[in-house]
Every structure is written in C-alpha cells, then in structure tokens.
Structure 1
Amino acid sequence: MNISYISRRPFAWIIALVAALGLASCTKSFEAYNTDNTTFSEDELKPDFQYIGAYFPEIQSSIYYNFNNTTWEYQLQQNLIADCYSGYMMSPDPFRGNINNLNYSLVDGWNGYPFSLAYAHVMGPVAQVARKGAREAAPDFWAIALILKVEGMHRVTDIYGPIPYTHYGESTTTAAYDDQATVYHKFFDELDTAVTNLKAYMAKYPGKKPFEKFDMVFGGDYSKWLKFANSLRLRLALRLAYVEEARGKAEAAKAVNPDNGGLLESPKENVMVSGFGIKHPLNTITSAWTDISMNASMESFLVGYNDPRLPLFFDPTTEGGLGGKYKGIRIGSSVTAKPGYTGFSTLAYVTANTFAPDAPIQLMTSAEIWFLRAEGALRGWPNMGGTVQELYEKGITTSFSQWEVAEKAPDYIADATSKPLAYVDPKNAENNAPATTAITIKWDDAATFETKLERILTQKWIAVFPEGQEAWTEYRRTGYPKLFPVVNNLSNNTIDTRIQIRRINFPLQERNINAAEVAKAVTLLGGPDTGGTPLWWDKKPH
C-alpha cells in the first residue's frame, strides 16, 4: 500500500473540537445512525437503550482499529509500530526508501494515529455515552464503557507516556496532560466502578442481557465482562511490578478475589471482537498488500521449539530454494523492493486461514491471564491459584487449546532440550544473528528468578500473538523474550540498539495545536521526547 500517500492524509483531531461542542457530536456517522436515519426521538429509543447502545460498536471496533474497514489506519495505529517492535512481524516493503519506523527513523506522519484514532473513536463515544446519562440511567452500560475505555486507552499511554485523560473535555481550547501514574491510578478507579456496577446489576437482574444487541465480544453476558474487567486489572497490576509494587500487589489481590467475579480462564472466554461487518485488517495487509511478514524473532523461537502452533500463525515460504520452510525477516533490515522478501513466511491466511477476512480480532486471551498469575506467584503475590509451575503450564495448555492442538501440549511442556535458533538471511548475510537466548520450555523449579521470569514471559509472548501492542509493552517492562535488535538503527543515537525502542514521540499535530500541554507532558515524561526515553513503569534495570 502507498504509505507515502497515507501519511499526508489529515488526522481526525477532534479532542479540542469535541470539547468545544460540549461533546454534542462524537462522529457524524453515529449521530446519523442515532437520529437522522430514524423517525424516533431519544425518549422513544430509551426503552431498548438504543440512545446509548449505538455508540458501542464504534468503540469496540476502534481499540484494535478497523471501525471503517479502511485497514490503512490500523496499519499506522499498530502494525508498523507495535506489531513489529514486539518481534511478531516485519514488513517486506521498503517504505520511504528504508527510512521509517522499522529502523527507528520515526515517521511523524504515521505515529500520531494511535493517538488520534483513540480519541476520535474511543474517548469521544465514551464521553457521549456519559453525556446521555448512562452513569445514572444505565450503570451496566456505563460499566462496559469504562472497561472498553481502559482497554483502549491503556494502549495509548503505553505508547506515548503522559496523555490527556482525567481532564478530557473540560477545556474548549486545550487538552490537559496527566502523568502516566495518574492515568494508571484512574484506570484502577474506573475498573472499580465497572465491577461494582456489573455485580449490582447481575444481583438485581440475574440472566438479563440488555447489552446483547450491541455486544461484539460476549453476546451480552455480563459475567464475562466482569471477568474481562478483573483480568484487565491483573494485566495493569503487573505493569506496576518495577515502579509501584505495593499498589500492583493490592490491585492484583482485587483481581483474583473470587467475590469480584473471577478471571478469564478458558479459550471460550477470550476477548475477541467480531460482527457489525468488521474485517480483520491483517488479512488485507497480508494477502492483498503483501505488506507484512514473519519477524525473525518468531522464526527463532517457534521453529527452534518445534512449536505446533507455528503453521497456525504463519504460512511457509514461497521463496524458491527455501523448500517451504518458515523464514522471517529481521527488523531493521534494508529490504529490497518487492518482490524481494515477499516470498518469506506471511501470516497464515492460506494453509490455516487463521487471518481470514471475517476472523475475530483478539484483544486478550485467557492464556495471557494464566501467565500473569504465574508471574504474580513468582513474585510472591498471594492467591494466584496455584504454584508457579502449575500456572505456567496452565498458560501453555490454554493456548494450545485455543489453537486446537491441545493433544500436543504435554510433549511440548516436557521438552527440556529445544532452544531458539540463530537467524540466517539467505538474501543478505549482513542480517544474520546468533540466537539471543538458550531458554528452554520445561519448567525448572531450581532455576533463578530471572530464568523463571524469562521462561514465563517467553511462553506468554507466544500465547499473546498476534496482539503486538501488549507483547511490545511487556517486552519493555521485563526485557523478555530476548528479541533480535534492529539491523540498522537510524535514530541518530536517540534509541539504544541494545535495549530497543521504548516509546513513540508525541504526535506532531499535538505539538502544533497543543504546544504548552505537550511541553508539560515532556516534563512529566522525565526525559526527551524521543523513542529512547523509558515510560513510568519501565524501571527494570537493563
């Protein structure tokens, strides 16, 4: 796809505009859907909650963005950022003459999209739901809005650091930034409200599903939304392990408290978005545009481990001479013009049809939660539900069940010899690299804390695929798995090749229209506005 054209398209910078309009119209499409195309007044729509429910498909479709099925917006929101920085994917397209995000020459015209899309299509509609009176009139709907808001916006703060959050919509001229600690603390408060509201509704109206017709995830089942809220809290609690461990431990205790409704445990509870015509953007990016392929790090681990999930994640090569093997591209390589590397392994859309056009979009898996519990237990946090080994192995078996290869899990778990492989680029030996680690699969209770942590995070990284945003975030937090560094680092010494990219610069449009607040945000960040400055929770020594 022609990214040089896309990068010149204007942003949907509505944060100040929405505030100026008193949050009166989030998007034209939803106002039209909610009023113009019907003969019903808002009062007439209240009995079936259409007056607030109509905003939710937009919100759910915009976290992993493909609300309009345009796909290129997702490509800039996540695919050419986190999907590649996570070690999952790499592009065979030499965008901008191989001067782009993938070798740390950060492209301002690309990197504002995680910000603009989230404020236009998550924060804006949630604010509309609030303006319609959902807090009081439909506290169950408000609970879902808060869960989705936290799920959507934690991704944004984990990309940039400080963001506008607690004062969103208060000013008609500026968007006030919060430091990341304040944002995270607000997330926990909002999850408190969501859990309280859902528990109260379920106790008063057991079995009722008023949200069902708007639900793209759980079919209106509030018990699963409650588990999602608790699981999201556990995810964010572990994020605090190196910066506010006492707070993280306390939030984890809330998450695992059975009185609060439980956690995601099985693949049937995975958080997957589908319906309302949404298409999986990775299908188009892979099959039609040939813009994304396997990352060399995935080849190293999955091939090295003889992982049964490999053919469900990726298609084998079509490159002559490679014999249908699996071959990735190392991030930061100077790829040649297409079809140079397009014959290397792509996301699985041919042999396994994993990335079919109508495939559901994954936000969170139950396997991830078992690995979070394993890490919590490793850290000595109470009530995680088993020993570290039991929880680690449960994470693996749950992931294998998700991918319908459960019968192969016992042999995989018992494998004490398979290791990640060195990388060999058959087109350019300059991209070759030795294996980054010798970590094996089988649990070893006599290993050091760091070896145990690496083992947990490596298997968690595989299980989270293809959700690159969470994988990149956890890599930055823990240093695991050990990924191949970029071949060419064009950051002008602002990003350390060894520890890799830590964040994305504040958006250019924000620097232009909200300059004073962005200057404050840089102060809150605690370092220069570059890709090398660590975020608030990124405190583990390297």
Structure 2
Amino acid sequence: MKKIIISFVALLSIGTIACTDSFDKLNTDPNNPTSISPQYLLPYAIEKSVDRYWGGNVRFERLNIDGAMLWIQYLSRNIYSNEGDNYGITPTFYNNTWKSFYTDGLVNYQRVISQSKADGKLPNTNYEGIALVMRSWTFSLLTDLYGPIPYKEAIKGTADAPIYNPAYDSQEVVYAGILADLKEANEKLKVGGPAVSGDILYNGDILKWKKFANSLRIRLANRQAAKKPAESKAILAEILGNAATYPVFTSNDDNAVLKNTDSRPSNNEWHEVMVIGSRTDWSMSKTLVDKLLGLKDSRLSVFATSVKGSYEGIPNGLPDAIATTYLSSASTLGSYFTKASSPSVLMTYSELMLDLAEAAIDGDISGDAAAYFKTGITASHAQFGATLASDYITSLGAVSKEKILDQKWIALFGQGVEAWTEYRRTGFPVMPAKDPRAVFENNGIIPTRLPFPTTEYSLNKTKLDAGIGILGTDNMQTKLWWTEK
C-alpha cells in the first residue's frame, strides 16, 4: 500500500499503581509507542512529499497542475484561468506547499535519519541513506521553488537544543549541503547490507537508491554549473569516472517513480482530481501541441487526446469567456497520465542523459553530446511507450544547447516543476509570443519563484527579512541564484 495511516490509541488508566522501582517499566504502554520506526515513517514521508510535488488534489494547492504545468505551457486552463494560468495564485498555494514539504516530508526524513544512524535507536545505514536521498530531493525542491530557505537550522524543533526560528541560507549554501549529503548517502547505502521495509519507491533495492542518489547529484551539479563551474566539473568527473563507486541510471528500469495503484487512496493524484473529482478544467497548451506537431513527435499521442483525429491546444492565459469556446475542439491530457495507477515521476534516465548532453556541449564533461542527446530522446520515447521515427533524431539537425533543452522540456512532460526550473535557469525553450487575447497578472512575466509563506512573516519575521535580503525582493519576478540569463 502506498498510503500509510499512522494512528495512536490513547490509554485510559483505571485505578492506581503504587510507586515502585519498576514504575517506568509498568507504565510503558506497548500499544501506544512514543516514537514511530523507520518502516512506517519512510513511506508516509515519501507519499506525502511526492504527492505534493506531483500535484496534490486540494483545490488552490495543486503545485504542479495549477502552477508549473501551466507556466511551462504543457497545459492550459479552459475555465478558471485565474487559478494559475494567468500567473495568479492564492496564499494557500505557497503556504501549504511550504508547510507540507517541511512538516510531512523533511521532519519525517530527519526522524528516520536520527533513528537509523550509528548512535540511534535502530541503527541501519540503508534507512539512513534512503532518508538522506529523499531529504536532499525535498530540500532541492524547496530552494528551487522559493530561493533562500531555512536549511542548516531547519527541522530542529525537537532537537536537544531546539531551534524554533531557523535562519535562512542562500541557494548556494543549500546546494553545497545537498550535494555533500548525496555523496554521503551513496556511501551509507550498502548493497547486501541491512534490509529495509516500507520502501514504496524502490522496494528495498539499494543499488537503485545509489543510482538515484548519484543521478540526482548530477542534476544539481549541472544546474549550478554556470555559477560554480569548477566545483560542478569536479563532481561530474568524480561520478562519471568511477561507475563502480558511483553508479547512475543506466535504463528506464532505474527511473525514480512512485508506483501508484488502481485502488484509492493509493491512486495517482491526477486521477483523483480529474477522474474521481470529475474536474475537466485543463486542456493541452497550444505551445506544446504546436511544437510536437511541428516535430511530428509521436509522444503527442501519449500526452494528449485527439479530437476527431487531430490535436489542438488552447493558448495560455485566455479569459474564461474565450477559453471555453475551445472546449469542443481542444485536446485534453492523455489517459497515460490520468489512470489510477499512473506513476508519479521524480527523475528519469532520459533526463539524466539530457543533463549529460548539456554538460558535454557546455564543456563541463568530455563526453559526446550528440550520443547523450540521442540516448535521452530514445529513452524518453520508450518511457512513454511511443514509437521513435527512424528519421526523428536526424531531422533535428546539429545538436545545440537550445535543442537539448527543448528535448528535455518534452521529456519532462508531467514533471512540470522540474521543467519550470530548467526554463527559469536557462530561458529554454523559447516561448512563443503571448496570445493578444490573453490576460495575465505578475506584469505578464512567467513566475520565477513562489512567494514566502505568510506564516513566516508572522512567526519568523526577523530571519525571513534576512532571507529576503539575500534574495532581493519577495515576489514572483525575482530571479534565483542559478539563473543563467
């Protein structure tokens, strides 16, 4: 089961027990534990953080389908354009995204680490390594969404010396910490080591966790390469130069995905919203449809439904009165993504290959950019069960950074948050001119980040102000640290 429900049963004491030397032992209730073991904490944290990242099913809180998937022009709204498509969001959107990643995800990953480390209650290097990977992934999402965040002093409210008002760290500091933690995670993870249960991502396959740790490290090293070239080149060289010590994804079988099920509540979040909830508010974006039609890309038939044998998208940001006129003709999201058992994707082999293609063309590694490019495109088609036309790759022409990032944008379909981050970092793909009928907030600028939560303004104002000082301005137009243009 993907979903884990942890409940506590209160004990009602009847009568009295005399004070004896065995008082503590007599008053320990085996049915009411004071701590939860990693086998229960881990799946809860994974499910909560992945669901929040992939979509969420609560209106006004859907990070992916009411935010990133619209801003990166995969989807468009055919009604309620003010719910993300016009770049407007509610405080609930950014407040609860922050809260969920910290309290449902990070707090529980940290509990697993504390229990599993050598001096913890339940030492187990594999639990510790897995939780380090997932903690790193979650911190990377937070800093890529908001910019400076509480990092070094975060999630220490229950520590021996608790910190209730954590300081903010710059993205540069957060990235340095995450990259170090992922290297440590690879060292902690021992193939053939102690068993783990409750692993709903890789079912206890430690080699795949090592591959995810190192592949994620490559993603983040590549993402910061324009700002810290020497360090990033060293990280990439270390990983790629020693496959035995630093294994990475080698096929789609290694993809980091949460395998959902046909049964509620373990179903895919998009299925919950669009099928169970009967929400039909989204159509395909004209930007994506036109791009794939122009390339004669077979992945379009997976991503979208055809209407009378053809595909049409809606321009982003149209007012409802105009957007609704497309309802009978616009393509909608393909069933590959709306089935109950559709996977929630964290990272893929295709993305890794396209990251390496970019690193090669930038001169950060010595590999063949064209070979990585071809492998990434081939893997993406295979991942989605689409047929790769024999002339598709040659028809793209000479490999360039823009073409690599265009293909990464296509390959990341569904992973709106990652695609949005790559666009904010590089400016690719180049988006078409806005439809003249569209109406946007945010001065018409595709959002560059999420605002800090209102709770931080009320509960952690002094530290927040220092964080804003690092960033510059707390709005949705401020560029983040890794921005290249």
TM-score class normalised by the smaller sequence: 0.7 to 0.9
Indicate yes or no: 2:403 matched with 1:460.
no
Post-superposition CA distance 1:31-83 (Å, at most 9, x none): 639x99x956879x9xxxx8212111122212332699971269523221112
Structure 1 residue 332, shift from structure 2 partner: 1.6
Aligned with 1:535 (options 462, 480, 484):
480
Structure 1 residue 284, shift from structure 2 partner: 3.2
Aligned with 1:365 (options 348, 363, 370):
348
SS in 1 for 2:257: strand
* Match of residue 457 from structure 2: 511
- Contact between 1:162 and 1:178, CA under 8 Å: does it hold in 2? yes
Structure 1 residue 486, shift from structure 2 partner: 5.0
Aligned with 1:392 (options 367, 373, 377):
373
Whole-Å separation in 2 of the counterparts to 1:67 and 1:87? 17
Structure 1 residue 131, shift from structure 2 partner: 3.6
Indicate yes or no: 2:207 matched with 1:223.
yes
Whole-Å separation in 1 of the counterparts to 2:338 and 2:150? 34
Whole-Å separation in 2 of the counterparts to 1:178 and 1:125? 21
Structure 2 counterpart of 1:107, which letter? T
SS in 1 for 2:321: coil
TM-score, structure 1 normalization: 0.76
- Contact between 1:111 and 1:507, CA under 8 Å: does it hold in 2? yes
* Match of residue 105 from structure 1: 88
Structure 1 residue 261, shift from structure 2 partner: 3.2
What is the correspondence of 1:133-152 to structure 2 with a 5 Å cutoff? 133-134=116-117, 136=119, 137-152=123-138
Structure 2 counterpart of 1:302, which letter? L
* Match of residue 26 from structure 2: none
- Contact between 2:319 and 2:439, CA under 8 Å: does it hold in 1? no
Whole-Å separation in 2 of the counterparts to 1:73 and 1:210? 39
Indicate yes or no: 2:109 matched with 1:126.
yes
Indicate yes or no: 2:170 matched with 1:179.
yes
Unaligned regions of 5+ residues in structure 2, if any? 13-28, 157-161
* Match of residue 295 from structure 2: 305
* Match of residue 356 from structure 1: 339
- Contact between 1:103 and 1:489, CA under 8 Å: does it hold in 2? yes
- Contact between 1:506 and 1:529, CA under 8 Å: does it hold in 2? yes
Structure 1 residue 29, shift from structure 2 partner: 5.0
Indicate yes or no: 2:248 matched with 1:263.
yes
254-263 or 226-235, which deviates more: 254-263
Whole-Å separation in 2 of the counterparts to 1:306 and 1:502? 31
Cα pair distance change 1:409/1:325, threshold 3 Å: closer
What is the correspondence of 1:184-263 to structure 2 with a 5 Å cutoff? 184-198=175-189, 201-202=190-191, 206=192, 210-211=195-196, 213-256=197-240, 257-263=242-248
Whole-Å separation in 2 of the counterparts to 1:291 and 1:282? 12
* Match of residue 8 from structure 2: 32
Structure 1 counterpart of 2:182, which letter? L
Structure 1 residue 534, shift from structure 2 partner: 0.3
Whole-Å separation in 2 of the counterparts to 1:366 and 1:162? 29
Structure 1 counterpart of 2:456, which letter? E
* Match of residue 153 from structure 1: 139
SS in 2 for 1:537: coil
Unaligned regions of 5+ residues in structure 1, if any? 1-27, 318-322, 416-440, 446-451
Whole-Å separation in 1 of the counterparts to 2:354 and 2:54? 34
How many residue pairs get aligned? The number is 449
Cα pair distance change 1:519/1:399, threshold 3 Å: same
Structure 1 residue 110, shift from structure 2 partner: 2.0
**RMSD, aligned CA:** 2.9
Structure 1 residue 312, shift from structure 2 partner: 0.9
Whole-Å separation in 2 of the counterparts to 1:515 and 1:326? 49
- Contact between 2:226 and 2:482, CA under 8 Å: does it hold in 1? yes
Cα pair distance change 1:268/1:522, threshold 3 Å: same
Whole-Å separation in 2 of the counterparts to 1:506 and 1:64? 21
Whole-Å separation in 1 of the counterparts to 2:294 and 2:54? 39
Structure 1 residue 254, shift from structure 2 partner: 2.9
Whole-Å separation in 1 of the counterparts to 2:214 and 2:229? 18
* Match of residue 330 from structure 1: 315
Whole-Å separation in 1 of the counterparts to 2:442 and 2:413? 31
Aligned with 2:286 (options 285, 293, 296):
296
Cα pair distance change 1:148/1:342, threshold 3 Å: farther
Whole-Å separation in 2 of the counterparts to 1:128 and 1:502? 32
Cα pair distance change 1:244/1:69, threshold 3 Å: closer
- Contact between 2:87 and 2:441, CA under 8 Å: does it hold in 1? yes
Cα pair distance change 1:70/1:365, threshold 3 Å: closer
Whole-Å separation in 2 of the counterparts to 1:299 and 1:335? 20
Cα pair distance change 1:485/1:191, threshold 3 Å: farther
SS in 1 for 2:142: helix
- Contact between 1:86 and 1:472, CA under 8 Å: does it hold in 2? yes
Whole-Å separation in 2 of the counterparts to 1:77 and 1:515? 25
- Contact between 1:59 and 1:122, CA under 8 Å: does it hold in 2? yes
SS in 1 for 2:320: coil
- Contact between 1:230 and 1:260, CA under 8 Å: does it hold in 2? no
Post-superposition CA distance 1:405-455 (Å, at most 9, x none): 35x34321122xxxxxxxxxxxxxxxxxxxxxxxxx23x16xxxxxx0011
TM-score, structure 2 normalization: 0.85
* Match of residue 427 from structure 1: none
